[in-house]
């Protein structure tokens, strides 16, 4: 199994830890950790503060030397590698953002390409591309100082810096931990979109189980320096290894699965909806609202769709007070909408906070995909329960 060759063998995991231990002053802070991370996986490392997450990340890029065990990258033992060369193969987003305050944004992002000996002009091009990837215009932000940016923008720069060397592996230590909840959700979504395109191998540290469930292909749960369980979110919920894991992931709560399930991964209702076009009149809208096969929508309102995109809704109930001529275009109200990349939990939260039992779902371009209702969520829980029971048989 063990290859001595330098050539990349597709059979090797991107990262493997075998019996990895770290002691400080005779005390093991990481003990006997075994884990294999296949290429392209986003693995979340989670556990309470002080359980050894940062230490593991820093052993992977050899900022910390293990006291025992082996760490292999693409099948090669890192102990025999030049640590500096090793680090240049990996992007690292450190805990607490950590931009160089005396360097402008663009210079911060081109640090790694610069270290790799890339010519200045090319490093700048690479940095610009990385900034664009994280949604920052290089023209607007490249020349700014870190202190001139918001927390969310600084964190984006931190991610851009990790991407700029085009590394195979990215290590992220609580990358969104310092952000307000809204920016955190936005950056999570953006990272998931990026990852869908780039398919890097990512080790993502967090202590937030919701973040872990949302982000991770698999989640490794740590306690006091040892690994309690590694698995896919649903696996951890349906067959937790012990009480610690069960409590940690909220396995007792059937709604926990909503925290990682994406709206686009559940089957949305598309048939029998009350729909109308921008140029329809209110009578047409009334007919559509009456003809819907969904009783909870009947004679209430229509979704207005133009060129496949959701434009809003029009109530057909309150039209007594309204002129009944003219197109729906002039009567539009905003529809409660969730993007398909969001989690089912976020959709549920939106329903509860806006006091309605269903939300319209759109994709990134505003294209209307269907609706998700409270009742559908009940069905999702039942279906998943059945599936996980089948799987454990
Ligand atoms: N350089 C060090 N010297 C001594 N103890 C350390 C050192 N670095 C980390 N530790 C200890 O190792 C444990 C794990 O730390 P860390 O990996 O930072 O945890 P986490 O990132 O999970 O919060 C903690 O108890 C911490 O105090
Ligand atoms: Mg830490």
Q: Which helix (H) or strand (E) holds 245?
A: helix 243-249
- Which residue minimizes the CA distance to atom 6 of ligand 1? 24
Burial of 333 (0-12, 13-18, 19+ CB in 10 A): exposed
Atom from ligand 1 closest to the CA of residue 173 = 21
Distance 29 CA to ligand 1 centre (A): 7
Pocket (CB within 6 angstroms of ligand 1): 24, 29, 49-55
Distance 176 CA to ligand 1 centre (A): 20
In sequence order, which residues have a C-beta less than 8 Å from that of residue 166 and are 6 or more positions away?
126
pLDDT given at position 255: 83
Tens of pLDDT, residue by residue, the chain (393 residues): 333 444 445 689 999 999 999 999 999 999 999 999 999 999 999 999 999 999 999 999 999 999 999 999 999 999 999 999 898 889 998 877 789 999 999 999 998 888 778 888 888 999 999 999 888 999 999 999 999 998 889 988 998 998 888 899 999 999 988 788 888 888 888 898 888 888 999 999 998 998 998 899 999 999 999 999 999 988 898 889 999 999 998 888 878 888 888 898 888 989 999 999 999 999 999 999 999 988 888 888 999 999 999 999 999 886 555 556 689 999 999 999 999 988 999 999 999 888 888 899 999 889 999 999 888 888 888 887 777 667 665
Q: What backbone phi and psi angles, to 5 degrees, belong to 368?
A: -75, 125
Count Cβ neighbours within 10 Å for each residue of 17-33 and write b for 16 or more, e otherwise.
Answer: beebbbeeeeebbbbeb
Q: Where are the domains of the chain?
A: 15-257, 265-379
Best of 30, 45, 55, 224 for a ligand 1 pocket test (most atoms within 8 Å of beta carbon): 55
Distance 221 CA to ligand 1 centre (A): 17
Distance 183 CA to ligand 2 centre (A): 21
Ligand of minimum distance to the alpha carbon of 52: 1
pLDDT given at position 320: 56
| CA-to-CA separations, 276 to 119, 262, 295, 361, 371, in angstroms, rounded | 57, 27, 17, 16, 15
Find the radius of gyration of the CA atoms of the chain: 25
Ligand of minimum distance to the alpha carbon of 173: 2
| C-beta separation of 328 from 338 below 8 A | no
Ligand of minimum distance to the alpha carbon of 46: 1
Q: How many CB atoms lie within 10 A of CB 88?
A: 17
pLDDT given at position 2: 39
Looking only at the bridges linking them, the beta strands covering 68-73 and 15-24 are antiparallel
Neighbouring-strand partners of residue 237: none
Neighbouring-strand partners of residue 227: 222
Just give the CATH number of 265-379.
3.10.580.10
| C-beta separation of 341 from 264 below 8 A | yes
Which of these, 273, 326, 279, lies nearest to 303 by C-alpha position? 273
Q: How far apart are CA 124 and CA 107, in angstroms?
A: 8
Which of these, 210, 192, 141, lies nearest to 349 by C-alpha position? 210
Ligand of minimum distance to the alpha carbon of 226: 1
Q: What backbone phi and psi angles, to 5 degrees, belong to 44?
A: -95, 135
| C-beta separation of 54 from 47 below 8 A | no
Atom from ligand 1 closest to the CA of residue 174 = 21
Q: How far apart are CA 375 and CA 348, in angstroms?
A: 11
pLDDT given at position 81: 94
Distance 54 CA to ligand 2 centre (A): 4
Report angle CA 191, 208, 389 to the nearest 5 degrees.
90
- Which residue minimizes the CA distance to atom 8 of ligand 1? 55
Distance 151 CA to ligand 1 centre (A): 25
SS3 128: helix
Per-residue tokens: 249 = 């992931």
Fold of the 15-257 domain: Rossmann fold (3.40.50)
Distance 94 CA to ligand 2 centre (A): 9
Neighbours of ion ligand 2 (CB under 5 A): 54
Q: Where are the alpha helices (DSSP H) in 253-361?
A: 282-291, 344-354
Atom from ligand 1 closest to the CA of residue 222 = 22
Atom from ligand 1 closest to the CA of residue 51 = 22
Per-residue tokens: 136 = 């920052």
Q: How far apart are CA 179 and CA 101, in angstroms?
A: 18
- Which residue minimizes the CA distance to atom 25 of ligand 1? 50
Looking only at the bridges linking them, the beta strands covering 15-24 and 27-37 are antiparallel
pLDDT given at position 321: 56
């Amino acid at each position: 199994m063990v290859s001595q060759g330098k050539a990349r063998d597709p059979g090797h995991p991107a990262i493997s830890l075998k019996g990895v231990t770290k002691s400080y002053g005779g005390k093991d802070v990481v003990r006997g950790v075994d884990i294999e991370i296949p290429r392209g996986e986003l693995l979340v490392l989670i556990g309470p503060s002080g359980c050894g997450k940062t230490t593991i990340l820093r052993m992977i890029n050899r900022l910390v030397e293990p006291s025992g065990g082996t760490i292999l990258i693409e099948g090669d033992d890192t102990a025999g590698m030049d640590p500096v060369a090793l680090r240049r193969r990996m992007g690292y987003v450190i805990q607490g953002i950590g931009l160089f305050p005396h360097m402008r944004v663009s210079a911060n992002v081109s640090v790694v390409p610069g270290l790799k000996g890339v010519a200045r002009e090319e490093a700048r091009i690479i940095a610009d591309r990385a900034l664009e990837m994280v949604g920052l215009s290089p023209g607007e932000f490249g020349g700014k100082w870190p202190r001139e940016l918001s927390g969310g923008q600084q964190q984006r720069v931190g991610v851009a810096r990790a991407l700029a060397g085009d590394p195979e592996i990215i290590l992220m230590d609580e990358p969104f931990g310092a952000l307000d909840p809204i920016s955190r959700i936005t950056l999570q979504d953006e990272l998931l979109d990026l990852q869908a395109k780039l398919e890097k191998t990512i080790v993502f540290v967090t202590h937030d189980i919701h973040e872990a469930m949302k982000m991770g292909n698999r989640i490794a749960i740590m306690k006091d320096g040892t690994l309690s369980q590694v698995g896919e979110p649903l696996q951890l919920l349906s067959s937790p290894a012990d009480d610690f894991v069960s409590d940690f992931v909220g396995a007792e709560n059937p709604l926990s699965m909503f925290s990682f399930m994406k709206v686009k991964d559940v089957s949305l209702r598309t048939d029998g909806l009350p729909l109308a076009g921008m140029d329809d009149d209110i009578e047409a809208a009334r007919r559509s609202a009456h003809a819907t096969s969904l009783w909870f929508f009947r004679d209430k309102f229509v979704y207005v769709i133009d060129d496949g995109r959701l434009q809003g809704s029009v109530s057909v109930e309150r039209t007594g007070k309204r002129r009944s001529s003219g197109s729906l275009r002039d009567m539009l109200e905003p529809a409660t909408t969730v993007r398909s990349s969001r989690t089912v939990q976020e959709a549920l939260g939106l329903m509860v906070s806006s006091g309605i039992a269903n939300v319209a779902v759109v994709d990134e371009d505003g294209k209307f995909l269907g609706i998700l209702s409270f009742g559908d969520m009940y069905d999702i829980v039942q279906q998943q329960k059945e599936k996980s029971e089948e799987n454990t048989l």
